[in-house]
Amino acid sequence: MISEALYASISSIIPTLFHKMNLLSQIQIILIETSHSGNIGSAARAMKTMGLNQLRLVAPKQAIDEQAIALSAGAKDVLEQAQYFQTFDDAIADCQLVIGTSARLRHLQSSLIEPRRCGELALERANLGKVAIIFGRERVGLTNEELLKCHYHLNFPTNPDYGSLNLAMAVQLACYEIRMAWLAWQNTAESTIPNMETDFPSAEALEHFFTHTERLYRDVGFIRNESVMRKLRRLYQRAHLETNELNLLRGMLTAVEKSRHL
Ligand code: SAH
């Protein structure tokens, strides 16, 4: 029999612990078209050592096999729970913050995020919704089109002459930073993670907005080539639109559309 006082104190702690555990489960590690199953296994191990367990695989070239399981060591459960997606867009659709990792710095200057800040931001935003951290193909990384769909870009400041990390090691570093932020948070009061009222749109909602923008502005003759849309995407991604702001922009597009068809 546990005393009432003990029961009361345990039951007040449990939701807090549960919440803290869940926060890491909001962070999705997404691997794009991985060539070697062994890298998937090593990535799962890297994740689990840091307390992360949500792995998403986009069209892996090799299925999870013995090699993957061997390299995952004790993290077979992460592999077993992995979710599969056909496309990049499908994998990020329900995420409100999308961070792409890249060994290259070109074109990304305005949206770069430091590894330490990335860990903190991922954790803060995990409090509000799902967060995606994306890792590219072993040989060619992420495409420019994929990078354009990320709010932030994370580059580990490696040796400029030899800067490309092994995929699972890049996963390890990103997860380590998240863990450091999580441990720091655990040691401080719960209130330090902003419990913002703000709601951010999912990647899918943002994608609908871009499609809507492109359709209308092609229709009115403003958008004539791909580069305008690329610039607009960059601009809107950088603005970190909140849901009510996105609704405002959608409303403006719809109003213009309606007035044209009067
Ligand atoms: N030649 C590829 C390297 C791919 S390495 C390229 O130019 O992008 C496989 C993946 O590991 C990358 O897509 C990225 O997700 C991650 N990665 C490797 N090195 C990295 C670094 N220095 N910073 C951030 N991510 C890195």
Ligand 1 center from residue 138 Cα (angstroms): 7
128-155 pLDDT, tens per residue?
A: 999 999 999 999 999 999 999 999 999 9
Decide if pLDDT at 7 tops 70.
no
- Check residue 15 and give its pLDDT: 47
Task: Give the mutation target among 102, 118, 153, 177 for probing the ligand 1 site: most ligand atoms within 8 A of CB.
Answer: 102
Ligand 1 center from residue 167 Cα (angstroms): 7
CA distance 79 to 27: 16
Nearest-CA residue for ligand 1 atom 15 is 135
Cβ-contact 123, 185 below 8 angstroms: yes
> Could you tell me which residue, 9 or 45, shows the higher pLDDT?
45
- Check residue 18 and give its pLDDT: 46
CA nearest to 201, candidates 146, 262, 151, 153: 151
Whether this prediction's pTM lies above 0.75 is answered by: yes
Which residues make beta-bridge pairs with 97? 131
For the segment 7-36, the average pLDDT, to the nearest whole number, is: 74
Ligand 1 center from residue 141 Cα (angstroms): 6
For the segment 87-116, the average pLDDT, to the nearest whole number, is: 90
- Check residue 257 and give its pLDDT: 87
User: Alpha-carbon dihedral of residues 230, 231, 235, 237, nearest 10 degrees?
Assistant: 10
Cβ-contact 181, 120 below 8 angstroms: yes
Task: Give the mutation target among 39, 58, 61, 101 for probing the ligand 1 site: most ligand atoms within 8 A of CB.
Answer: 101
154-168 pLDDT, tens per residue?
A: 999 999 999 999 999
195-239 pLDDT, tens per residue?
A: 667 899 999 999 999 999 999 999 889 999 888 888 888 899 888
163-182 pLDDT, tens per residue?
A: 999 999 999 999 999 999 99
